[in-house]
Amino acid sequence: MNTIQTTNRPDNRTELWLPLSGPLDRWGAIRLRSWVQAHVSNDCNKIVFDLRKTSFIDSDGIRTLRDVAASCGGVEVSLLNAKPKVHRTLSMSQMDRLVHLPKV
């Protein structure tokens, strides 16, 4: 994972941007879970995961993203810039029903 960018918008909403890199497998899922626990606070309104550099996602990664979306009630979660292979895996697992997942 790379540098976290926090944006405080004029409407007092806080957005967290996290560029993910490499595979979102068991190890990546553990790191992601730790990041969410450490950085998501009550004043956070939106989490954006930039998947531009995510090369692969498996069931552990999908489960973690589902858990993040479920545990952050009221927080909008977006998965942006997914490569076609990663996007297809996310779509097949119906992540677009839980989070914002733009079409490729």
CATH architecture, domain defined by 5-97 = 2-Layer Sandwich (3.30)
Listed range (2-16, 43-57, 71-85) with the worst mean pLDDT: 2-16
pTM: 0.83
Statement: residue 98 has pLDDT above 60: yes
Is residue 29 a contact partner of residue 64, using CB atoms and an 8 Å limit?
Answer: yes
Q: Per-domain residue ranges for the chain?
A: 5-97
Strand partners, 17: 5, 48
- Structure tokens given for 3: 């540098």
Statement: residue 8 has pLDDT above 90: no
pLDDT at 7: 60
pLDDT band at 9 (very low <50, low <70, confident <90, very high): low
Using alpha carbons only, what angle is made at residue 46 by residues 40 and 49, rounded to the nearest 5 degrees? 85
